[in-house]
Amino acid sequence: MKIHGLQKMTLLDFPGHVACTVFLGQCDFRCPFCHNFELVDGSAPAIMDDAELFAFLGKRQGLLDGVAVTGGEPCIHKNLPDLLRRARDMGFLTKLDTNGNHPKMLCRVLEEGLVDYVAMDIKNSPEKYALTVGLDQLDLSKIRESIGLLKDSGILYEFRTTVVKEFHEEADFHGIGQMIRGAKSYFLQSFTDRDSVPYGNLHSHDPEDIRKFAQIMSDYVECVNIRGVD
């Protein structure tokens, strides 16, 4: 398996743990606000293979708690379960980031006990989901199936939405809330522009608006938090 990026230590990507973050290439979405679009469109070259990754992890045993696997979209890769299993066999906790569009792979890693924490993006309300992920159309049944898998999984998980002024308004959070009603944890993440974002002229909401959206979500979700807003 080709590894397209490695953050050697993070205190942010795996809640409650010191971890490294492994970036895999390719994604089936084309979100206009993506921070890692060079992984999505294939322009970022691989920096190592899995043998080199596990050599690195061997030197970090006892120093890192966990390994966070992100992308791109990790669930595209058929070798994802092997990567997670090998990391766990080395004594690391594992976290998976996913867009939720691959419930079969998500179900497999959950059933095989290969992940300790999953973060799933909820891109927008159902009516605006395809637009927000940069596609003409999208089968939302896969997204809903993944939501259900996580809610029933018994492991730690979060749903999260990157909030972009051009894509999200107040009504959308009622739609999101209905999709994930009864979930344990939800995060709103304020959009931050970067050079790697594929489309310009995108903006973050005012902090007051994001706090209002969080209040809406608190009617649907047990625990709601905000990232990227002071």
Q: Which pair of structure tokens corresponds to residue 73?
A: 């979209």
Helix axes 103-111, 140-151, angle to 10 degrees: 20
pLDDT of residue 190: 95
Length of the chain: 230
Domain boundaries, the chain: 2-168
Question: pLDDT in tens for each of the 230 residues of the chain?
Answer: 999 999 999 999 999 999 999 999 999 999 999 988 888 877 789 999 999 999 999 999 999 999 999 999 999 999 999 999 999 999 999 999 999 999 999 999 999 999 999 999 999 999 999 999 999 999 999 999 999 999 999 999 999 999 999 999 999 999 999 999 999 999 999 998 877 677 778 999 999 999 999 999 999 999 999 998 87
pLDDT of residue 229: 85
Instruction: From residue 192, give the alpha-carbon distance in Å to each of 36, 40, 163.
Output: 12, 18, 9
pLDDT of residue 69: 98
pLDDT of residue 199: 72
pLDDT of residue 40: 86
pLDDT of residue 66: 98
Q: What's the CA gap between 197 and 35, in Å, rounded?
A: 5
By three-state DSSP, how is residue 219 classified? Answer: coil
pTM of the model: 0.96
Instruction: Provide the CATH topology of domain 2-168.
Output: TIM Barrel (3.20.20)
pLDDT of residue 35: 87
pLDDT of residue 196: 66
CA of residue 199 relative to chain centroid, distance: 20
Q: What's the CA gap between 92 and 108, in Å, rounded?
A: 19
pLDDT of residue 152: 97
H or E segment and range at residue 113: none
pLDDT of residue 162: 97
pLDDT of residue 42: 73
